[in-house]
Chains A and B, each alone.
Chain A
Amino acid sequence: MRVALFITCFNDTLFPETGIATVRLLERLGVEVDFPREQTCCGQMHFNTGYQREAIPLVRRFVKIFSPYEAVVAPSGSCVGMVRELYPMAAELAGDNKLAEEVEALAPRVFELSEFLVKKLGVTDVGAYYPHRVTYHPTCHSLRMIKVGDAPLALLRAVRGLDLVELSQAEECCGFGGTFAVKNADTSAAMLADKVRHILDTRAEACAAGDNSCLMHIGGALRRQRTGVATVHLAEILASTEEEIRR
């Protein structure tokens, strides 16, 4: 199977290690990965902050670049949510029926990494090894927008050496919310404080999630408070193998 990797501008620039892990993981599972270099940003930040006229050209770009592929995989529930759930609204705002049709055709072929593995490829054991105590935060857009369900947990449970501890109030938002964290910085910080408390209560070494944006927000507080607890993207856990760790 051949897929296009939609890395997302955020991962491309700030978390290249997640992209590298995604490529290694998919290739290990026999998936052929292509990286269309023309790609930039899906337009989520603009669209969700209200700069929708500005987002529409980005929607068009995305659709043009990725439409030729059978499947598109992204290591971000949030950006996939933008494409699947909000591109139709963007096309409607643009008043462009052709774009709406193209979106309708493309959207179901765009997958978040964990759902691609579990629902499309049908694997839960990806042969990973990660000898650490880890807790998992289900990000809101993965959970409620694109509904990945238990896929990430099923994948984590199959990782050898990994001690998965349950996070209490896991489904509550961490307080990131894109520009929300800046516009409503105080409220965001209050939400983050509770998320951090629950993470510390698990005594995990690392908190995992499928979105680096939320992880940057959570990790920023974990670091500021010198908790010694790390954040790690799901892809990086799944990509790591015994051989690699030995090396």
Chain B
Amino acid sequence: MKQDAFSPGGGAPFEVLAKESLANSQLRRNLGKATTTIRQKRAAAVGEMPDWEELREAGRALKERVMRHLDEYLLQLEESVTRAGGKVHWARDAREANRIVASIARGHAAREVVKVKSIATDETKLNEYLEREGIRAIETDLAELIIQLSGEESSHILVPAIHKNRSEIRELFLRELDAGDLSDEPTDLTNTARLYLRKKFLEAEVGISGANFAVAETGTVSVVESEGNGRMCTTLPRVLVTVMGIEKVIPAWQDFEVFMQLLPRSSTAERMNPYTSFWTGVSEGDGPQEFHLVLLDNGRTDVLADERGRQALNCIRCSACLNVCPVYERVGGHAYNSVYPGPIGAILTPQLVGIGKKGPDSLPYASSLCGACYEVCPVKINIPEVLIELRGKVVRHKQDAGEGWRSRLDPENAAMQLMARNFSDVRLYEASQKLAKAGQWPLARGGVIQRLPGRLSGWSAVRDLKPVPRQTFREWWKKERGS
């Protein structure tokens, strides 16, 4: 099984995986093209809205209210769903969620289930679990299907196959779907997928979905999508199971007014997305006759405990932050090694799995703190601030956990301690400036430093460094002004 952030070990760190991605020129080209296009479109779609900033503020305030009273809203949701004929299940972690879903599927003797994009079930690795139980889960979102057929992992929240281009997809379909004669025209490709999926929709007894929102007041669950496969998946099978993170609850039906203005423009740069499905429990003779809502915690209540960090739970998964992120643009989603990539992944993943795992602990550092994500986030999550908060937690955890880390042996820690001491006393600081001037000369050649030792070598791999000048500013000031 693949080791990712949600695996017990936590997987490999970002900087190691990023190296691989950076060397993939096809990936760099695909990503560069895709993110540049969607950025411009988003900016235009948002630019049309005179009250965009007020909407963002409203979205943020609503989500904050939900997080403050999450327990109450969830109980209210359970009551509303039950009243409407659905059944609510509470899953503390991934294992519980998977077990619940599998037992429902088994109860209906399903060998195959259709699924529509649900990141929560990627988090719990539901497909792999079902497979071990002898149940095949068919992803029906086009991009998810592509990912599933190629045996890869999603690299984007909204465009999971953003790293693949159409000729790669054509080859995949020829190989996996017996597509016969096939060009790489998008219409041809989607038609092939459509024929394959229609059959699956009509055969399946059980459908599995995620949810974008669930209304506490009415018990209405909603999926926002582009292709209509979600609509099929949530209406054709006789049994519907929705797996949803507990943070997706919203107070009232009216709140859609805010979120449905924010989400489509931020994610696909559309004024309105093509398909938005709403369902409230079961309706006799129409759609699924059995509805289960699985409410997944899996670390979320732990995140709530951190008042700054919990902003990450406000995310509506629009992926605007991925699309503007200069780091994501170059390394793509796989380097994050998590179902949640990009800036939101960098703040959500380490909090969900807990600080103290090598892979996830590296994610808050996968950012230059440029702030582009915060600027576009439709619910105003201050991602840079949370990144900094989490870096603090990572360092404090390492220092306090000991593991020889506190000792002078860790070069980063040792350097930081030394510098902190020098900065705390102006005499030490001035002495260290003199030392820096003297100490660098073995490194300098012909007026520049071209190679730095140890951990700093990454700097000098592509950049020259100007040596420390002979006179500091404060020496100049003292000479000029005498005080």
Contacts and interface: CB of A to CB of B under 8 A. Distances in A.
Interface stretch (B49-57, B133-141, B420-428): B420-428
Contacts of B456: 182
Interface in B391-420: 391-396, 416-417, 419-420
B464 A49 contact: no
Interface stretch (B4-12, B94-102, B213-221, B361-369): B361-369
B22 A53 contact: no
A224 interface: yes
Interface stretch (A14-22, A98-106, A107-115, A151-159): A14-22
B473 A181 contact: no
Interface in B311-325: none
B438 interface: no
Interface residues of B, number: 66
A11 B365 CA distance: 25
Nearest to A189: B462
Nearest to A55: B420
Nearest to B483: A37
Given A175-B326, A184-B366, A86 B388 contact: yes
Contact of A13 (B331, B424, B436, B476): B436
Contacts of A39: 426
A191 B327 contact: yes
Interface string A51-66: 1111101100100000
A184 B417 contact: no
A43 B423 contact: yes
Contacts of A140: 368-372
B18 interface: yes
Interface in A172-213: 172-173, 175-193
A184 B429 contact: no
Main secondary structure of the interface of A (DSSP, over half): helix
A162 interface: no
A173 B368 contact: yes
Contact of B330 (A20, A46, A144, A191): A191
Nearest to A62: B423
A182 B456 CA distance: 6
B15 A184 contact: yes
Contacts of A175: 326, 368
A3 interface: no
Interface stretch (A117-125, A126-134, A214-222, A236-244): A214-222
A223 B416 contact: no
B455 A186 contact: no
A25 interface: no
B326 A223 contact: no
21 contacts: A7-B474, A12-B473, A13-B473, A14-B466, A14-B468, A20-B473, A35-B481, A40-B422, A49-B391, A86-B388, A145-B371, A145-B384, A185-B461, A187-B15, A187-B18, A187-B22, A190-B331, A191-B330, A192-B462, A220-B465, A220-B466
Given A144-B375, A173-B368, A183-B365, 10 more contacts: A9-B429, A19-B477, A50-B395, A61-B423, A86-B385, A140-B369, A178-B368, A183-B15, A187-B331, A187-B366
Interface of A: 7, 9, 11-17, 19-20, 23, 35, 37-41, 43, 45-55, 57-58, 61, 86, 89, 93, 140-141, 143-145, 171-173, 175-193, 216-217, 219-221, 223-224
